[in-house]
Amino acid sequence: MGIISQYDDWILQKKEKGLYIIKYKEKPIRKIITENYDSRDIVTEKYEFSEPIDEVKSFNEVKTIFYLESEKSKNNIQYKKISILLSIIILIYISVQYSPIILILFIISGIIIHYLYNNYSTNEISYL
């Protein structure tokens, strides 16, 4: 039926009444079925979808699952930012202790890190 919510590369999509799909970069990650889902054969539905299927009572639980999935991704980005910061500190120490050439390499690395950091900005879109 359409996209309900989007957070970076994460998408919550409503397929039909009571049936939702969570996608990451257009790849289905989870299928969620609520009590409102009128399935001809729920067992067949489970075998047609290879990813985990959650059965919940309400749409609020669907939103919670979507939020938790997208937060895992956000935490991975935070980990990358912390790793980049630690790398910068190590490079500064090495450049001060040893050689100006390493300082030049540090500056080039900083430019690359800045570029990567700008590509990890978060954009949340909600259609609710």
- Give CA–CA dist 85/62, Å, rounded: 35
Q: Residue 4 burial (CB < 10 Å; 0-12/13-18/19+)?
A: middle
pLDDT at 56 exceeding the cut of 80? yes
Q: Which long-range contacts does 41-48 make (Cβ < 8 Å, 24+ apart)?
A: none
pLDDT tens figures, 65-120: 888 887 776 666 667 778 778 877 877 777 778 777 777 777 787 788 777 776 66
- Give CA–CA dist 120/83, Å, rounded: 14
User: What pLDDT score was predicted for residue 128?
Assistant: 43
Edge-first strand listing for the sheet containing 19-24: 53-55, 27-33, 19-24, 10-16, 2-7, 124-126
Contact 89, 96 (CB under 8 A): no
- Give CA–CA dist 74/127, Å, rounded: 20
pLDDT tens figures, 13-54: 998 888 899 888 888 888 888 888 876 555 555 556 556 688
- Give CA–CA dist 63/108, Å, rounded: 42
User: What pLDDT score was predicted for residue 3?
Assistant: 85
